[in-house]
Amino acid sequence: MGLFFGTDGLRGIVNADLTFELAYKCGNALASVKPSPRVIIGRDTRVSGEYLTLAVAGGVMSGGGEVIDLGVIPTSGVAYLTRELSADYGVVISASHNPREYNGIKVFDSNGYKLSDKEEEALERRFIHTKINDFPDIGRFSSEYNHIKKYESFLEESSVGSLEGMKIVLDCANGAACRIAPAVFRALGASVVASASSEDGMKINDGVGALYPEHLIRRMERYKADVGFAFDGDADRLIAVDKCGKVIDGDMLIYMLARNMKKEGRLRSDTVVGTSHTNMAIEHALARCGIGLIRTDIGDKYVLEKLISEGLSLGGEQSGHIILKDIHSTGDGILSAIATAGVMRREGASLSEMFDVELYPQANINVTVADKLRVINSESVNDALARVRGALGDWGRVMLRASGTEPKVRIMVESPDGETNRRYAEELERAVREAE
| Catalytic machinery residues | 96
How many whole angstroms separate alpha carbon 269 and alpha carbon 250? 21
- Residues in a beta bridge with 143: 69
Which residues make Cβ contacts (< 8 Å) with residue 390, sequence separation at least 6?
A: none
Q: Is residue 62 a contact partner of residue 32, using CB atoms and an 8 Å limit?
A: no
How many whole angstroms separate alpha carbon 358 and alpha carbon 379? 36
Which residues make Cβ contacts (< 8 Å) with residue 154, sequence separation at least 6?
A: 80
- For residues 350, 353, 359, 364, the Cα torsion angle rounded to the nearest 10 degrees is 20
Q: How are strands ordered across the β-sheet holding 292-296?
A: 292-296, 271-275, 314-316, 322-324
Which residues make Cβ contacts (< 8 Å) with residue 23, sequence separation at least 6?
A: 52, 55, 56, 59, 105
Q: Is residue 173 a contact partner of residue 209, using CB atoms and an 8 Å limit?
A: yes
